[in-house]
Amino acid sequence: MNITRTGSGQPLVLLHGFPLDNTLWEPLLPHLADHFDIILPDLAGFGLSPLPKPDYHLRDMAAALADLLRGLGLPRAFVAGHSMGGYVALAFARQSPEMLLGLGLISTQALPDNAERQAARHQTAAEVAAKGPGVVADAMAAKLSANPAHETLLRETILRQPVPGIVNGLKAMAARADSSDLLPGLDCPVSIVHGLADALIPPERAREMKAALSNAHLTELPGVGHMPMLEAPVETAEALKKLL
Ligand code: MLT
């Protein structure tokens, strides 16, 4: 798994969303580097991380994260995930709760896909396999951020992602487990961040997670879309520092 590492303090893993890579966290890093030893993986099939095998599930990505942390000599870490990365963070919380110092859930949700969404993901996966990453760049680049100034960066980042990784990511998200049952039993601190102008995952999903958790803080960001690390890096970093 390719990682970038920066900063000093307690270990914090930041897991990027779909179909992106670890470079998307850059605007957040100056605001966190004095507080955390920040570990930035490229999830399997994205950025510079190869896809180990076809049908590599989000739970496999979570298990690979546990192996990575053990390999780095880190028995425990804060783990924060954005959107798809949040699904992986929730899978990690289920598999390895003893390794979790605290959880960050940014623009994500505990609920799984319904049947309609699963079918749409499989159709998009077939289109990407046939036509390449332009299919998802066209569908997503303009919708991800509420700030049109981010569209070019997002489009370029999506167009760099390997087709097998995008296809696998779509199928893995469609197959992901419902994490709702996990939330009431989670006893580590949780910080939830959600843009109120998120066009992909409605803010209600964040409020539902907050209500189900016993030790959670919710930061709602007015006018912010699906990309708080780009759109509101200071506020997003402040929310993650609340985990300390
Ligand atoms: C993401 O931003 O990671 C994905 O769009 C999330 C999703 O499609 O469920």
124 close to ligand 1 (CB < 6 Angstrom): no
Q: What is the mean pLDDT of the chain?
A: 98
Measured in whole angstroms, the distance separating CA 212 from the mean position of its chain's CA atoms is: 20
The protein residue with its alpha carbon nearest to ligand 1, atom 5, reads 18
- Fold that domain 3-114+176-241 belongs to in CATH: Rossmann fold (3.40.50)
Give the domain ranges of the chain.
3-114+176-241
Q: Which atom of ligand 1 is nearest to the CA of 18?
A: 3
Residue 26, classed as helix, strand or coil, is helix
Which pLDDT tens digit goes with each residue over 192-213? 999 999 999 999 999 999 999 9
- Buried/exposed 111-125: b ≥16 CB within 10 Å, e otherwise: ebeeeeebeebeebb
173 close to ligand 1 (CB < 6 Angstrom): yes
> Sheet harboring 77-82: ordered strands across?
3-6, 36-41, 10-15, 77-82, 100-106, 190-195, 216-221
- Does this model's pTM top 0.85? My answer is yes
Given ligand 1 and candidates 83, 122, 230, which is best to mutate, with the most ligand atoms within 8 Å of its CB?
83
84 close to ligand 1 (CB < 6 Angstrom): yes
Which residue stretches of the chain have pLDDT < 50? none
Instruction: Identify whether the C-beta of residue 189 lies closer than 8 Å to the C-beta of residue 103.
Output: yes
